[in-house]
Amino acid sequence: MCIDRNRELYGVEQYVPYRNWAAEQALIKRNLTQYGAEVLREVFDQAFREYRPTRDYPQLTAGFVLSYVASRILPRVLAKREAEKEARERRAATEEGGPSAGEVAAWL
């Protein structure tokens, strides 16, 4: 994902991993296990939207995002997901506890 996004957004053809490939892969695996793919995808999407490349740092690596940028973005993503979950639960509880269409029709 990062390789393609760097090429697409910044024109960087040669992806250089954060530290080394093994360290970056371990960091990705640890975060995937802890947060899941959907959360990480949202973190990366926001990180790429916010990042502005410089001459010294022309690309955004997965390791850099997970080591430094995610600490700022992850709480927002998790809070948003929790609020959405609570809204779904409230909606489901309302639908279950509310009157049926037949009860409403009889009342009218």
pTM, to two decimals: 0.77
| pLDDT reported for residue 99 | 66
The pLDDT > 90 percentage for the chain reads 69
| pLDDT reported for residue 75 | 95
Note the pLDDT tens digit of each residue in 10-56: 998 899 998 899 999 999 999 999 999 999 999 999 999 999 999 99
Residues 6 or more apart in contact with residue 107 via CB below 8 angstroms: 99
Kindly write down the DSSP assignment for every residue of 48-98, as one continuous string: HHH----SS--S--HHHIIIIIHHHHHHHHHHHHHHHHHHHHHHHHHHHHS
Count of the separate structural domains present in the chain: 1
Range of the domain at 33: 2-107
